[in-house]
Amino acid sequence: MRSTWTKIDPAHNCFRFYAISLASDLFNAYVLSCEWGRIGSKKFKRKVEVFSSFEEAMTQVKRIEALRVKHRYQAE
């Protein structure tokens, strides 16, 4: 699963992206990876979290997506 969010506000020089990806690994764990930064930049930040169950991982995904909406990001 991959979810991409953007926030574009030229009046405030704001061109940001946030990407969330969720995948299972070989050990039955779920890996949540978040990347964010400025659109067009070669540098970005990444955070990786590992969850033992799909429900835990989806709870975190929903929490992150709610935070993106609160900060006025738009889903792509």
Residues 7-66 pLDDT 10s: 999 999 999 999 999 999 999 999 999 999 999 999 999 999 999 999 999 999 999 999
Domain parsing of the chain, residue ranges: 2-75
What predicted TM-score, i.e. pTM, was given to this entire model? 0.89
The H-or-E segment that residue 67 falls in is helix 54-70
pLDDT of residue 29: 96
pLDDT of residue 7: 98
| Both structure tokens of 71 | 């900060």
pLDDT of residue 33: 98
pLDDT of residue 64: 97
pLDDT of residue 74: 97
